[in-house]
Amino acid sequence: MIIDQELENKEIAKQYKELLQISYQTLSEKDKKMIRLAFDTAVEAHSDQRRKSGEAYIFHPINVAKIVAQQIGLDATSICAALLHDVVEDTGCTLEDIERLLGNNVAKIVHGLTKISSLKKDKNISLQAENFRKMLLTLHDDVRVIIIKIADRLHNMQTMDAMPEYKQVKIASETLYIYAPLAHRIGLYNVKTELEDLSLKYTEPQRYQSVKSKVEESYEAQEEYINTFSKFLSKELDKERLNYTVKGRSKSIYSIHRKMLTQNIPFEKVYDKFAMRIVFKSTRAKEKLLAWKIYSIVTDHFTPNPTRLRDWITAPKSNGYEALHITVMGPQNKWVEIQIRSERMHEIAEKGYAAHYKYKQGDNKDIGIESWLNRLQEVLENNSGNAVDFVEDFKLNLYAKEIFVFTPKGDLKSLPQGATALDFAFAIHTDIGKKTRGIRVNDRLVPLSKELKSGDQIEVITSDSIKPSKNWLDFVVTSRARSIIKSSLNEERKARAGEGKEMLRRKLKQLKITMNDKTIQKMLLYFKFDNSQDLFYRIGIGSLNNQQLKEFSSDYQNSVLNFFKRRLRSKNKFEPSTSTEITEKYDQLVFGKEKEPLAHSFASCCNPIPGDSVFGFITVNEGIKVHHKECPNALSLQSNFAYRIIPAKWIDSSSEAFVATLKLSGIDRKGLVNEVTKMISNMNNININRINFDSEDQFFTGTIQLSVQNKTILDKMVQTLSKVNGIDKIIRE
């Protein structure tokens, strides 16, 4: 590859000038000098490096800095840190050099951004989950660390075409799994949307292209509708002499895809593909008054849907988002979402943290995510368990919708939708949560598992004799509560295991067996425990009794050989059979680059059938499990355990039958069931295994279990059934 160095240098200089021009924050001369110094340091440090695409590496940190400066709108310190985010790991430049040149703040952020490369590669540890946990630990030190990491990930996603496919899928899965939800939680909505769309492009390219082309096809008709609606709204708002702008905003490809998937509907039936946004000028004092005035004007002409009113001005979201959302029946009888915001609210929605910082006044230190960061810090401090469990628990609350509840004194608290009374207790304070004896909601005693609703007033009754129990984990949903309960249970478990170890030593001594590593390993095999702490704990709580220990002792004394033979036989019961012959006449799954037929079983969480997009996951004890690419667990597996994912595809078509279950619903009529069964029976290569229909008040639901050859035949049959008069929805389980 021939490189025109002069041309490249001109482009680097041009991008540097753009960086200064597009900054959201006002840059002083001192800021500009600091950015220039960081820029020169980065150019020199990365001078010999190139990206996989062939371009100079320096373009990556410059583009990350541009995202930080314009799309996220951070300050000069952050821009400098973004320019230098890779120099410590990838070049000879040290943190001490950065601190000497640009000060402690920049060095501290760069230190937080330096990638983790010293983790032990343990087969039982998800390296990526450990990375996520360590990344989250930097959140409370300086939130800018995580925001620059998100910008870094966004630019990597924008420039991923040169990478091999398996890396694209891995990086895109990680992005959907943790980076996009983090961007959402911090309030970076535009960045979140772009991350989601780019991730879908690589995880499900066919679906992405399909939705994208349909969005483009309907663009003109949508624009015409938005313009007509905007003109009418403008005419009415002008009468009140308001200073405002009205804009239409298309929904993202990813959000349309999610709606199609969750509601099992085609593109044409996704009705809210766009939203209107009214952004008005106002002083801080009059914002709420003007927002409700605009609401009144809109609803004078269009009927609102009362169940879709969202007032995030009176009670802002915990990431600081403020707006009034209403859904009205617009022209042509279409439901349209309208978002009403002041310019300040709009900037906070677009820029999140940066705009909060800009609008922060006097003693108002709440920048929207401050209380969330404080709660997160407690979760991180309390968590010492499995990294994958931690990331799963933490992730649960990143996208969660919020409810607003009250303390006995009338203070407002926000919790994720679905939170229970016990979640509230832990949200108030760790010690209150741990000692919860009972809870009153709206002055009535309720179970700890009671799901809360917005507006509830809650009082917690505590007792010093209460300790968290394992069943509490069944009905808490917040990562904070789960983390504290697990941590408390682990402490108690450790204490019991310590007592159990001494008890076991004494019991084995009576049986004339020395307790050492070899004995413990044999006991773990015999009793089928994963680790020694499990064994000691069971002894400590008395669930392993003296009789069972005597049986082990007898086995141990008799014959080591017989012992291992018996263990091996029992273990083989659970191992997948490799003797199944896969011949050409059957549908075949092949794995890896070599396209080899390997022994496998199908995951029960998604039940894939021939023709589905699938991948293999190498489990610890059960061989290869085959999952559907749209399986609820797919993102978690691809993100946390990419090293155990094996590509899989179907080859040939076969006559072997696979089981598929369909759920039907709609308006009941005479002869409907007969028509459905007759239609299926007339189709080749499909047999009905089981059929069940229920009807109530002219609404029916039905379940049909079928033996079907492959997905193409199933899809064809679903298409035919959907045309039957009365059937409204067909969902494959």
DSSP bridge partners of 324: 311, 340
Q: Which pair of structure tokens corresponds to residue 395?
A: 């992730």
Report the distance separating Cα 189 and Cα 263, nearest Å: 23
> Are the C-beta atoms of residues 625 and 619 closer than 8 Å to each other?
yes
Match 């425990």 to its residue by tokens: 529
Please, which residues have CB within 8 angstroms of residue 16's CB and are 6 or more apart in sequence?
A: 39, 62
d(Cα 698, Cα 590) in Å, to the nearest integer?
47
Look up residue 55 and give its amino acid.
E
Assess contact for 3 and 55: CB atoms under 8 A: no
State both tokens at 660. 């598929």
40, 44, 89, 224: the active-site residue: 89
Which residues face 616 on adjacent strands? 626, 646
Q: Measure the CA–CA gap between 225 and 223, rounded to whole angstroms.
A: 5
Residue 529 CA to residue 161 CA, distance in Å, equals: 46
Q: How far is CA 28 from CA 24, 33, 61, 76, 233, in A?
A: 12, 9, 22, 9, 41
Residue 63 parent element (H or E): helix 59-66
Residue 333, C-beta contacts closer than 8 angstroms, at least 6 positions apart? none
Give the C-alpha separation, 61 to 40, whole Å.
12
CA distance readout (Å), 227 to 84, 224, 246, 247, 248: 45, 5, 10, 9, 8
In a 10 Å sphere around its CB, with 0-12 CB exposed, 13-18 middle and 19+ buried, how is residue 510 labelled? exposed
Give yes or no: 389 in active site: no
What residues form DSSP beta bridges with 276?
248, 338
Q: Is the sign of the CA dihedral 75, 76, 79, 84 positive or negative? A: negative
Determine the Cα–Cα distance for residues 326 and 346; give it in Å rounded to an integer: 16
89 is catalytic: yes
d(CA 450, CA 436): 14
- Cα distance between residue 91 and residue 48, in whole Å: 10
The CA radius of gyration of the chain, in Å to the nearest whole number, is 30
Euclidean distance between CA atoms 588 and 582, whole angstroms: 7
> Are the C-beta atoms of residues 311 and 324 closer than 8 Å to each other?
yes
> Which of 8, 11, 90, 378 is labelled catalytic?
90
H or E element that contains 584: none
Contact 338, 304 (CB under 8 A): no
β-pair partners for 233: none
Q: Could you tell me the two tokens for 684?
A: 């080749």
**C-alpha 400 chain-centroid distance:** 10
Which residues partner with 626 through β-bridges? 602, 616
Residues identified as active-site: 89-90
